[in-house]
Chain A
Amino acid sequence: MGLRRYIVKRGIDTTITFFIIIIINFLLPRLMPGDPVSRLIGSRVQMSYEERIALLKTYGLDKQLHEQFIIYLSNLLRGDLGVSLSRYPTPVIEVLMYGLPWTILLVGFSTFLAILIGTVLGIISGWRRGGRFDIASLIVALATYSTPVFWIGMLLIFFFAVRIRIFPIGGAFDPEFITFAFSPAYILNVIKHMVLPTIALTLILYGGQYLIVRSSIIETLTEDYILTAYAKGLKESTIMFKHAARNALLPAISYAAIEIGLIVAGAVLTETVFSWPGVGTIIYNAVSDRDYPVIQGAFFIIALSVLLANFIADIVYGVLDPRIRYG
């Protein structure tokens, strides 16, 4: 299969999944037990009768299901994901778009760090398999991999924000910056707030990458070309990084795609513990306020991002490793 056909095939698969996510998103609030109307537009005391009727019309809730779906799709095309119930009448999309950059900042940076740390430790560990460093880092990785991220977060806050007050206990910036635009002081303040959540998220994410790279290195070391390299009298570090690591890293590239579930769940919980103003904290607040449209919209945005990330990872992998295209 050529690269182009491979991309087209992946693109079609992704589009199908995209439509299924839309359908799930449409059906869930309407088919779950209970009253869908109050779930979608709320049943607030302060909402007047006229307002309620207008909302019913906008989202077509007085019509048949298939007609509702058409209205839903056209609303979706205009970026309308409904109205937040707890911050009525703010549109859901506005609530989420405020959080998204914060989430991307935290998750992107932590994932990058986790991949970097996991890869380096994995290469060294796999190379020195059975040695003291290998055993120690394997145990640490397995332990952090099994630890609930919100608990790590609580420990970090307790020790570094409550006991020793070197870092703030939560949020992304101090209150006085809320009206300020970008300035060096603002950026410094954000970095200070970001240290603990980044450590927490990185700690639970690096283990997966570490384990993949480690076993991949071990696998690679049994290959004939490694023996050949030794026979040629090459330096050990040359073999380690030029021969072994290069080939072993291929499977590790798909890490982000494999562990995306862990990344998403980890992000939601980390943000909640640190009150980081991203999508995760928005979800948590929406859950406690029973703000269903926001939870629903957040799920939609997250599912879309994950789908896109998967598609990109597939393409990158296909470009780097021609074998995958024939799979």
Chain B
Amino acid sequence: MIKRLKSRGYLITVKRVNTFWSIYRSNRMGMVGLTILLFFIFIAIFADFISPYNPYKFSLNIYAPPSWEHILGTNDVGQDILSELIHGARISLTVGFLAALISTVIGGSIGIFSGYFGRIDSLLMRITDIFIVIPSFPLMILLAAYMGPSINTVIIVIGLLSWPYTARIIRSQVLSLKERVFVESAKVIGASDFYILKSYILPNIMPLLFANAILNVSGAIVSEAGLSFLGLSDVTYKSWGMILYFARIRGGFLKGAYWWFIPPGICITLVVLAFTLVGHALDEVLNPKLRRR
């Protein structure tokens, strides 16, 4: 019996994924975003194979403009810019994903507990509202300055300060789920809170949580670029923001080495835009109210 139910559940999941995909595919902006995203994720994963040079290796060929040898030229110590960008994708995306993971887990848990257990709701939401009001970027700068420049610090600081909106959105979704018939009936039968959370609430907020996580990644990448640009990250991890930091403090950009500082900004813009497009497309697909009337 249980086995049959489980296999039926599997079929429903497959069917749901198929419907989901067919709706998502019709969202043009979402598809553009997904394509850009997959492109950069591919680059980040296979950076070692794709990149033409070692991005950390010095050479005598400094400030070389774009040529066949160095497609995007070199910087002040002769490092190949294209290789820097390719490896930078890996660092920027990793920081973005990890920080978003932290903030989504925190925001998701607070949202779920706050929405489901009425007793702690007002306390948790008060805390959330305070975190919404406190300007997070200056606090990130402060914490990163105290803890010293390190890539882990940057990830943790961004993750710890970017959860409030997720908490709010998840909470309101849980609040409405809690009133649904299937949750009520499970309660009447005598299901425990843990069971209800695990079997009814969590599966139903997962899509929303996922869409939110995607938007959190884009926010985290922007924050990382900003912190790196202020010199608050580890200079040995050259993310796109860090490349721009170097281009500025080593004067490359005033000297007119456009091949050094223009490409990293394009990469950041494209990736952030892609995450935003995918996040909103997911939101639209999963939330029928938002679909085009």
List CB contacts (< 8 Å) of A262-317 with chain B: 264-265, 268-269, 272-273, 283-284, 287-288, 290, 292, 295-296, 298-299, 302-303, 306-307, 310
B53 within 8 A of A: no
The digit string for A122-139, where 1 denotes a CB below 8 A from any CB of B, is: 000000000000000000
**Chain A binder among B19-27, B61-69, B75-83, B136-144:** B136-144
A29 within 8 A of B: yes
Question: Are A287 and B272 interface neighbours, CB within 8 A?
Answer: no
- Which residues of chain A are near B141, meaning CB under 8 Å? 268, 283, 287, 295, 299
Q: Please judge, given known A-B contacts A150-B229, A157-B253, A288-B231, whether A21 and B134 are in contact too, CB under 8 Å.
A: yes
Question: Are B146 and A269 interface neighbours, CB within 8 A?
Answer: no
Question: How many Å from the CB of A96 to the closest CB on chain B?
Answer: 12
A32 within 8 A of B: yes
In the complex, A290→B142 CA distance in Å? 10
A227 within 8 A of B: no
- Which residues of chain B are near A143, meaning CB under 8 Å? 269, 273
- B223, B231, B247, B269: the one within 8 Å of A146 (CB): B269
- Which residues of chain A are near B139, meaning CB under 8 Å? 299, 303
- A16, A32, A272: the one within 8 Å of B229 (CB): A272
B43 within 8 A of A: no
B230 within 8 A of A: yes
Question: Are B134 and A148 interface neighbours, CB within 8 A?
Answer: no
Question: How many Å from the CB of B257 to the closest CB on chain A?
Answer: 10
In the complex, A143→B271 CA distance in Å? 10
Question: Are A146 and B248 interface neighbours, CB within 8 A?
Answer: no
- Which residues of chain A are near B241, meaning CB under 8 Å? 148
B52 within 8 A of A: no
Question: How many Å from the CB of B85 to the closest CB on chain A?
Answer: 14
Question: How many Å from the CB of A154 to the closest CB on chain B?
Answer: 5
The digit string for B216-245, where 1 denotes a CB below 8 A from any CB of A, is: 001000110110011110000000010010
Question: Are A287 and B269 interface neighbours, CB within 8 A?
Answer: no
Question: Are A268 and B248 interface neighbours, CB within 8 A?
Answer: no
Q: Is the interface of B mostly helix, strand, loop or mixed?
A: helix
The digit string for B90-131, where 1 denotes a CB below 8 A from any CB of A, is: 000000000000000000000000000000000000100110
- Which residues of chain A are near B134, meaning CB under 8 Å? 17, 21, 24, 303, 306
Residue of A33, A152, A154, A260 ringed by the most chain B CB atoms within 10 A:
A154
A175 within 8 A of B: no
Question: Are A268 and B138 interface neighbours, CB within 8 A?
Answer: yes
The digit string for A251-267, where 1 denotes a CB below 8 A from any CB of B, is: 00000000011001100
Question: Are B229 and A39 interface neighbours, CB within 8 A?
Answer: no
- Which residues of chain A are near B253, meaning CB under 8 Å? 154, 157-158
Question: Are B230 and A272 interface neighbours, CB within 8 A?
Answer: yes
Q: Please judge, given known A-B contacts A32-B147, A284-B230, A299-B142, whether A265 and B137 are in contact too, CB under 8 Å.
A: yes
- Which residues of chain B are near A15, meaning CB under 8 Å? none
Question: Are A302 and B293 interface neighbours, CB within 8 A?
Answer: no
Question: Are B248 and A269 interface neighbours, CB within 8 A?
Answer: no
A229 within 8 A of B: no
Q: Which residues on A are within 8 Å of B, measured CB to CB? A: 13, 16-17, 20-21, 24, 28-29, 32-34, 39, 142-143, 145-148, 150-152, 154-155, 157-158, 162-163, 169, 222, 260-261, 264-265, 268-269, 272-273, 283-284, 287-288, 290, 292, 295-296, 298-299, 302-303, 306-307, 310
Q: Which 5 A-B pairs have the closest CB atoms?
A: A151-B265, A265-B137, A146-B272, A146-B273, A32-B146
Given contact pairs A142-B276, A154-B244, A273-B248, a sample of 13 additional A-B residue pairs in the complex whose CB atoms are under 8 Å apart: A17-B134, A147-B265, A148-B229, A151-B264, A158-B256, A261-B136, A265-B223, A268-B137, A295-B141, A299-B138, A299-B142, A303-B134, A303-B138
